[in-house]
Structures are given as C-alpha cells and as structure tokens.
Structure 1
Amino acid sequence: MIGPGNAMIAVRLATYPAAILVYGTSLFLAFIAPNSTKASLGRRFALPLLIAAAIALAATIAWVFAEAAIIAGGWREAATGGLLQTLVFHTSIGEGWLLRCCLAALTTLAVAATFDRPVLVTFVSGLQLASFALSGHAVMNEGIAGVAHVAADAVHLLAGGAWAGSLIALALALSHAASQSDSLHDTRRLVARYSRMGQWAVALVVASGIANTLFDIGGWPVDRLSPYLLLLAAKITLVLAMIALATRNRFVLSPSIAGGDPVAIGKLRNAALAEAILAVCVLALVAVLGTLSPM
C-alpha cells in the first residue's frame, strides 16, 4: 500500500494541475478568446474541464485522509481513535479543508451547469485556487506575517494559474487560427490580449514567488543542500525557462504575427505547448515541495 507521504504528493499532483486548468482555461475563454471562436472553443473544452474539476474535487476530498495518516503515522492509526473527526471539525487544517471542498464542489457544479458562462466559472474556480493558500507553508506564520504570507501565496496561485492554466487553450486557439486563412485579424487581437495578460501574470508570479520564498526560508539559507532548497532551485530554473519562452513570444513572435507573418502563429503555438510541458514539471515539484519543511 502506498505510504501516507507519497499519497499526499499524489493528491497534490492531481489537485493543482486540474484546478489550474479549469481556472486558466475559463479565464482565457472569458477575457482573451475572440468572439468568433469563443463558442466553439467552449464546446471543445466543456468535457475536459468537467473531468478536471471532478478530479480536483476528488483529490481535495482525499487530501484530509492523507493528512490524517501522516499525523497518525499510518493508515490504520488514522482510522482509529477519532483522529479524522477531530482533524476535520476541531482544527484549522480541517476548516481550510472544508472550505476547499465546498469551493471544489461549487466549481464542478459551475462547469457542469454553466460551461457556456466562463466568467462565472473563472470567479468560482479562482476562489478555489486561492483557497489552496490555506493548505501550505503559508499557514505556518501567525499575525500580520501570516496574513501577508497567505495573501502572497494566493496571488502566486492566481497569477500562476492564469499563466500556466491558459497555455493549452492558447495553443488550441492558435491551431484553429493557423487553419483559417481569413482569421488573421482575430489572431492579432488574441495575441495582443494574451500578451497583456501574460506580462502581468509573469510579473506577479515573480514578485509573489520572491515574497513566498522569503517567508518560507526566513532569510539566507544555512543548509544550501537541503532537499527543499534543491527542489526549490529546480523549480526556479524551470520557471526561468518558462519566462525565457514567454519573453521570446512577447517580443519576437507576437510582433511577427502583428506584422502579418502566418508562420509565426505555428511557432507561437509550439512555444505555448513547450511552456505547458514546463508548467507540468513545475507543478510536480510543487507537489513535493509542499510536503517538505523549508527549514
């Protein structure tokens, strides 16, 4: 049987990408996709987003069982002595988990019932994503520092979700544009809108990421070879690679598309897919980092 620690990593790895995909894609459909392709893209994403929302809900429910097993030292121990009930109803961990479960359920219902209203889905899934800040290292601090840490983590989640979660939708929209010779005007508007959003998202990811790191580590690290710091360095390296791709997209490929170069559309689509692959690798590291002590 899988151990509680590995189960927690698996739960986190299922929760974050699924929730981010729902949030980022719905945001793309609501505010970035051209009106000419918004409806068709929404239909293509209806089932994948519903599956992703359901996965995030199921993983969020499973989260507390893994948490209880980690605290108790095993699955059998977690199932006895009323630990699970105490954890859920009498601790801040349980309160945060109940909130995340409610928001995950609301997101699933919103996707199922109103997938053609992406603004509503964006709002609800954004609340769900921001609530993850109540389940990580951000809750270690107390007082004003604790509030600031949670706020920084929530900003990091929302900005990162807007960036990483919309990449698949961008690639699909660009694939559609590449096959339509008369849609260059819409493609220019799409790229311009995405570039503006992407600049803000990347800036907020960097700023909030620096703040989170300072909160987590508390200063210059003494042990520079700890597992947490090594994985954090790997995460930062991957994010820097994503930023390098995004910078090329913004200052090389986007102007080429604006200038009427149809070949640049395919290049931008491929770059978006490459960023998405890097984003998945980042989330895999995040799944592990959340289970390690930063100290």
Structure 2
Amino acid sequence: MTTFWILLRALHFASVMLLTGSACYSALLAPRRFRPRLAICLESLVKGSAWLALLSALAMLACQNVLMSGDSTHLAELDIWLAVLGTHFGVVWQWEILFSMLAVAGGLLTGRLREQVLLLAGVLQLTCMALIGHAAMRDGWPGLFQQINHALHLIGAAFWAGGLLPLLLLMRESRQIDRRTDAIRTMMRFSRYGHLAVALTLLSGVINSLMIAGWPLMWHDSRYIVLLLCKGLLVALMVLVALFNRYWLVPRFRLAGSGTQQKFIRMTQFELLLACGVVGLVSVFATLSPA
C-alpha cells in the first residue's frame, strides 16, 4: 500500500503540474488573438490532467484510510472515514479535492474565464499540497514561512516542468504559417518568464531542503539524503538542458538545413523525462524521515 501511495502521489503531482503549466500558456503567455486556438490545441491535455488530478486525489484519500486503519475492509466504515477526514491531512485534502473538482468544472467553461479558472484551480491545488508532509513539520511563524516557501517552490516548478509538454505542442503549431508568429511569441514569453520560474524553484528548493534536513555539513547517510542529492542532480541536469536549448539551439533556428528545431524537440523531451524522474524521487522521499 505504501508503494501504491507513492505512485498516486507522483501521478497527482504530475497531473496538477501539467494542468497549471498548460493553463499558464493560454491564460497568461499567449497573445490574445492566439488564445482561442491554443486553448483548442491544449484542450485534451488540460481536461485529461484535470480529471487525473481529481481521480488521483480521491484515490489518495482512500489510500490514506487504508494506511491509517491497516485494513482495506475499513473503507466501508464511516467512523474510520471521519477519523481520516479529521486529521490535518484529511482537512487539507478535502480542499484539494474541492479545487480538483473546480478544475474539472472549469474545463466546461469557455473563453477567458475558462483559462483563468483552470489556472486558479491548479495554483490552489499546489498550495494545498504545500500544507502537508514535511512542509507542515513546524508550528508558528517558522511553519508558515516554510509552507509559503514550499508553495512558491511547487508553483515555480509547475510553470517550468509543467510547461514542457505544452511547449512541444507549440513547436508543432509554429510549423503552420498562419500561426507561426503567435506560437513563437508564446514560446519566447515562456522562455523569458521561465528564467524567473527556474530561479524561484531553485532558491525555494534550497531553503526548503535546509529547513527540513539542516545544513549539509550536518547531513548523515540516510535514504532521504541520498534521494535528495539525486533530485538535486536531476534538477541540475534540467537547468543545463534548459540553458543549452535557450542559448545555443534557439539562436540557430533560422539556419537552413541544421536540424536545430528537431534537436530542440529531442532535448526538451529529455528535459521532460528528467522532470518525471524528479517527481518520482520527490514522491518517494516525501514518505521518509529526514532524520
């Protein structure tokens, strides 16, 4: 059941990141005239991630019931459900499910309101995720600071990593003559603000690691520290790939016959794969004690 919990956590985190990253494009980054077309392009991705976030959130609540009670037969007992819902996790997760439902409902709307609701629902889900786990280990002002920092970390990561798959779809749109200018402008805006998202993710991640595990000189050999260092390595590789794409490949897009755009797609796919690895590692060491 613990393994199932880890898989559900990774699935939920990935789907919320994808929802938020996709909504950022159509709500904030795309030129106004291009937003309706981009919304159609990303519709399946957004609706799929919204539904996946809702279903995985419900499954995580049921999984928590089994983990707390120690028996799957207790899924039918009201007293156990009330006990789970009365915990800190249960209270926060009720809001998580509510915001997941908001995202699903937002997919039924149209126009600018649809994109705004989807983005808001994604950000609220990420904020709820920052209120549980290791980020909730402190009380008072230090605890509030840690949770705010973790929320910023998740939001920055969602803009960065959650925007990679939509970026690949935009590359396809840029091959259409009538959409090329708007698609490229959208991608350049993602690149520009992506610098801020990466910086926010790295800074908040360092702060979060220090608040949970302490100063590196005080670290000792444990599974948590090993996985944390592996995560840091994967993130560093993501940064290198992003820098290579932006400052080496993008300026060479206009060189005929260079195949630069195809190389950019391959490198972005590699960056997306690294992001999946980071999500998997986080889902594992989030269940471990840093001590």
Q: Normalising to structure 1: TM-score of the pair?
A: 0.89
Q: What is the percentage of aligned positions where both structures have the same residue?
A: 28
- Of 126, 137, 141, which aligns to 1:140? 137
For residue 30 of structure 2, give the secondary structure of its aligned residue in structure 1: coil
- Give me the CA root mean square deviation: 2.3
Amino acid across the alignment from 1:167: L
Residue 162 of structure 2 corresponds to: 165
Deviation at 1:35, TM superposition (A): 5.0
Structure 1 stretches lacking a partner, 5+ long: none
**Contact 2:173/2:180 (CA < 8 Å) preserved in 1?**
no
The answer as to 2:283 corresponding to 1:287 is: yes
- Answer yes or no: is 1:217 the counterpart of 2:191: no
What is the aligned length? 288
Distance 1:207 1:75, change over 3 A: same
Query: Which range moved further: 264-273 or 16-25?
Result: 264-273
Tell me how far 1:74 sits from its aligned partner. Answer: 3.6
Match of 1:155 in 2: 152
In structure 2, stretches of 5+ residues that fail to align are none
Give 1:266 deviation, angstroms.
3.1
Match of 1:272 in 2: 268
Quick check: 17-26 or 38-47, which moved more?
38-47
Give runs of aligned pairs for residues 78-227 of structure 1, distance below 5 A: 82-88=79-85, 90-114=86-110, 117-177=114-174, 179-180=175-176, 185-186=181-182, 188-220=184-216, 222=218, 224-227=220-223
Q: Counterpart of 1:113 in 2: which secondary structure?
A: coil
- Give the Å deviation of 1:29: 1.9
CA pair 74-40 structure 1, distance change in 2 beyond 3 A: same
Distance 1:115 1:227 in 2: 47
- Quick check: 2:170–2:187 contact (8 Å CA) kept in 1? no
Q: Using the TM superposition, give the Cα deviation of residue 251 of structure 1 relative to its aligned residue in structure 2, in angstroms.
A: 1.7
Q: Distance in 2 between matches of 1:211 and 1:11?
A: 26
Contact 2:31-2:186 within 8 A present in 1 as well = yes
- 1:133–1:154 contact (8 Å) kept in structure 2: yes
What is the one-letter code of the residue matched to 2:116? V
CA contact (8 A) 2:53 2:100 kept: yes
Give, as a single letter, the amino acid of the residue that structure 2 aligns with 1:135: I
Q: Establish whether residue 233 from structure 1 lines up as the match of residue 232 from structure 2.
A: no
- Post-superposition shift, 1:92? 1.9
Displacement of 1:269 in angstroms is 2.6
Q: TM-score under structure 2 normalisation? A: 0.90
The verdict on how the C-alpha distance between 1:79 and 1:224 changes in structure 2, with shifts beyond 3 A counting, is farther
Aligned positions of 1:24-43 closer than 5 A: 24-34=21-31, 37-43=34-40
- Give the partner amino acid of 2:284: V
Contact 1:26 1:122 in 2 (8 A): yes
CA contact (8 A) 1:46 1:115 kept: no
Match of 2:130, SS state, is: helix
Q: Sort the Cα spacing of 1:255 and 1:190 in 2 relative to 1 into closer, same or farther, 3 A.
A: farther
Task: Please list the CA deviations of residues 43-99 of structure 1 after superposition, one character each: whole Å capped at 9, or x if unmatched.
Answer: 1321232121111111111222222322333434676582321220x3322211111
Q: Is the 8 A contact 2:103 2:117 kept in 1?
A: no
Is the contact made by 1:64 and 1:97 (CA closer than 8 Å) also made in structure 2?
Answer: yes
Between 190-199 and 204-213, the greater mean CA deviation after superposition = 190-199
The structural deviation recorded for 1:215 is 1.2
Hey, what's the Cα distance between the residues in 2 that align with 1:109 and 1:76? 32
1:18, 1:56 within 8 Å by CA — same for their partners in 2? yes
